[in-house]
Amino acid sequence: MEFFTGLDLEKLEKLEKLMSEKHDRTAWIQGGPAQCKTPAVQRDSPQRFVLLGAPGVGKGTQAELLCERLGTCHLSTGDIFRASRCLTPEERSPALDAALDYMHRGDLVPDSTVLDIVRERTRCLRCGGGFLLDGFPRTVAQAEALSELLEEQQIQLTAVLNYDLALDKVVARLSGRRTCPGCKAVFHVTARPPKVPGVCDHCSGSLYQRDDDRPEAIRTRMEVYEKSTKPLIDYYQSRGVLVTIEAEGSPEQIYERTLTALNGRAA
């Protein structure tokens, strides 16, 4: 992988995992002159989505299904930030350097810096295969900036998909998670239980419940999410592009519900 010189093997493996050849996102992860190994299929009507959803609603699973079946590319700003830690200074853009400085200090990355990072990757937004933008925007200011950027590029959003689930069900999902301290494997006491209760299937480590998976911590996180996201939901609702999907049931049921909602909107 010629774009990642000077990295150790472990870092290289992490980056390769982020950029599988099946859905290669080198241009999104790296930015600059980097090119994806697998060109997207040019579609007559590419689907372009923004994804919203609280922790525990299954948004990541839906992103995988939508990308797999609609041919879109999952553009996650979180993946950019995670990969940027593995790059040498010469391989990072000024915007990424600025973002890392904020993150190292424990500060939030400001809207202007996040927008600069996305702006560096506008050709990913123009990709003929479409996209699912995940992790951005997070605020109304970011949403307004994104709208201006898309208008500049003559790109129109298909919809903003908002996955919604009742608080008590989110708590049940997340509080059932158990993590292995050794290999970091994650299980669930009901949805994905280990073969032996409390014991990791892979390395026999003793599973534990992370502090942020405890019910009281989850409720606090959800309150913060709802408070910060409601203005964003209202913004997209007012623009007529918000599609709210109930995130109850199996991944396949939620996916079918998503398609039904989109088809109903297009009718």
Give the mean pLDDT of 235-247.
Answer: 96
DSSP for 117-155, written as a single string = HHHTTHHHHT-TT-EEEES---SHHHHHHHHHHHHHTT-
Please indicate, yes or no, if residue 211 is contained in any of the structural domains: no
Please indicate, yes or no, if residue 73 is contained in any of the structural domains: yes
Whether residue 231 has a cis bond before it, omega within 30° of 0: no
Give 9's pLDDT tier (boundaries 50, 70, 90). Answer: very low
**Phi, psi of 85, rounded to the nearest 5 degrees:** -70, -20
What CATH number does the domain containing 81 carry? 3.40.50.300
Q: What is the pTM of this model?
A: 0.82
Please indicate, yes or no, if residue 107 is contained in any of the structural domains: yes
Reference 74, options 40, 98, 107, 42; nearest CA is: 40
Catalytic residue annotation: 59, 138, 177, 210, 221
Please indicate, yes or no, if residue 50 is contained in any of the structural domains: yes
Q: Angle, nearest 10°, between helix axes 94-104 and 77-84?
A: 80
**Counted domains in the chain:** 1
Give 127's pLDDT tier (boundaries 50, 70, 90). Answer: confident
Q: With pLDDT > 90 as the criterion, what percentage of the chain qualifies?
A: 55
132-185 tens-digit pLDDT: 999 999 999 999 999 999 999 999 999 999 999 999 999 999 999 999 999 999
Give the mean pLDDT of 239-261.
Answer: 95
Please indicate, yes or no, if residue 85 is contained in any of the structural domains: yes
Residue 87, SS3 per DSSP: coil
Q: What was the pLDDT predicted at 246?
A: 96
